[in-house]
Amino acid sequence: MKPAAFDYHRADNLQHACELLSSSGDDSKILAGGQTLIAMMNFRLARPKVLIDVSNIADGNQVLDEDGGIRIRATTVQRFVENSESVQQRFPLLCHAIEHVAHFQIRNKGTIGGNLVNADPASELPAMSLAFDAEFDIISVAGRRTVSASEFFVTYYTTVVAPNEVLSSIRFAEPPKNSGWGFHEVARRAGDYALAGSSAIVTLDAAGKCTRARIALFGVAATPVRATAAEDVLIGEAYSEDLLKASARSVQSILDPESDVHVTADYRRSVAEVLTVRALNDAFRRAKAVQ
């Protein structure tokens, strides 16, 4: 064993997990797919006293079609979502983004909820929750609350989920008809965390004018970023290269990236703009194709 010593409980269901959390104190952690937590524990950078394992609860993998959206159980492994026909048809951008999360071996274990609660801003899924106006269903022994994606992420690796709470499910809203999507990222290698990434959904009216837009970026700030100012530039406008450039230009000013061993903050800002143009280009092209 590489990690420091810890106690282990296996939860029967998420309610049971909440009970175990409330009785175990603040040094307890939910173990889902363990694809980040176990590595951090092996480095002894994370030292929870208690692990509460939710990886074996009944019906852990669940993707439910709802009116106007889809609800994914937090314990659902990423590969299950990626392989869901419903997600493939209704949320092709989400599938495409999940394919960029590490490698399929990891996605066979890593969960949707684990990824989102880990809140790595360079990961693709937190940005997807912004792009799809996601709502997070959070439970504890005290009850249940719903938090929108715009409120969920606090800073690096930090969300509003309190130590005694468990993320139960996430609802992704389906974009309107006549929408198209785009997704671009730069990573050192396939499967690595993005150095910078951008995703877009645009909805066009019959005249080809943009009626709704979502632009969500990752790897460029302490949280995933929804670029509402860049979206506003598009509303009421038809496709042009200049329009996309103008929209993407406004992205740079709202980003506050960090430098690391791979790239500088300047690189991230500049490339975020480039990738936003590319994502928008694809989104407009796809939206036109479905008209």
Partner 1 sequence: MNEPTATGIGASLRRIEDHRFITGRGKYTDDIQRHGQVHAYLLRSNLAHGEIRHIDTAQAKQAPGVLAVFTGADLRADGIGDLPVGWMTTNIDGTLMFIPPHPVLAVDRVRHVGDPIAVIIAATLSQAKDAAELIEFDISDLPAVANIDRATAAGAPLVWDGAAHNTAFHWQVGNSAAVEAAFARAHHITRIDLVNNRMVANAMEPRVAIGEFDEGRGEYLLHLSSQNPHVARILLATATLKVPEHKIRVISPDVGGGFGSKAMHYAEEVIVLWSAKKIGRPVKWTSERSEAFLSDRHGRDHKTHAELALDANGKFLALRASTIANLGAYYSTFGPAIPTFYSAPLLVGTYAIPAAYCDVRGVFTNTVPVDAYRGAGRPEAAYVIERLVDQAAHEVGLDPAEIRRRNFIPPDAFPYDNPLGAQYDSGNFGVGLEKALALADYAGFEPRRAAAKARGKLRGIGMSSYIEACGAGPSKIIMAAGAGSGMFESATIRVNPSGSVVVVTGTHSHGQGHETTFAQVVSDKLGIPIHSIEIVHGDTGRSAFGLGTVGSRSLAVGGGAIIKALDKVIAKGKRIASYILEAAESDILFENGRFVVAGTDKGISFPEIAFTAHAPAKFPSDEIEPGLEETAFFDPANFTFPAGLHICELEVDPQTGATEVLAYTVVDDFGNVINPMIVEGQVHGGTVQGIGQALLENCVYDPDTAQLLSGSFMDYCMPRADNLPNFLVDYIVTPSPHNPLGVKGCGEAGAIAAPPAVMNAMMNALRPAGVTELSMPATPLKVWQALRAAHA
Site for partner 1 (CB under 8 A): which residue of 8, 58, 143, 190?
190
Task: Please count the other Cβ atoms lying within 10 Å of the Cβ belonging to residue 154.
Answer: 13
Q: Is 275 in the site for partner 1 (CB under 8 A)?
A: yes
CA angle 233-239-244, nearest 5°? 50
CA 246 to mean position of chain CA atoms: 26
Q: Is 285 in the site for partner 1 (CB under 8 A)?
A: no
Q: Is 5 in the site for partner 1 (CB under 8 A)?
A: yes
Tokens of 40: 């951090």
Helix (H, G, I), strand (E, B) or coil at 241: helix
Give CA–CA dist 40/48, Å, rounded: 10
**Binders of partner 1 among 35-54, rule CB under 8 A?**
43
Q: Is 147 in the site for partner 1 (CB under 8 A)?
A: no
The neighbouring-strand residues paired with 220 are: none
For residues 14-46, one letter each, b for 16 or more C-beta atoms within 10 angstroms of the residue's C-beta and e for the rest, the string is bebbbbbbeebeeebbbbbbbbbbbebbeeeeb
Q: What is the nearest approach in angstroms of partner 1 to the Cβ of residue 1?
A: 5
Site for partner 1 (CB under 8 A): which residue of 195, 217, 230, 248?
195
In the complex with partner 1, which residue's Cβ is closer, 205 or 266? 266
Region near partner 1 per CB under 8 A, out of 92-100, 127-135, 154-162, 183-191:
183-191
Q: What is the nearest approach in angstroms of partner 1 to the Cβ of residue 31?
A: 18
Cα distances from 264 to residues 196, 199, 245, 267, in angstroms, run: 11, 21, 22, 5
Q: Is 289 in the site for partner 1 (CB under 8 A)?
A: no
In the complex with partner 1, which residue's Cβ is closer, 70 or 186? 186
**Pattern of binders to partner 1 over 231-270, x per CB under 8 A?**
------------------------------xxxx--x--x
Chain positions contacting partner 1, by CB under 8 A? 1-2, 4-5, 43, 186, 188-190, 192-193, 195, 261-264, 267, 270-271, 274-275
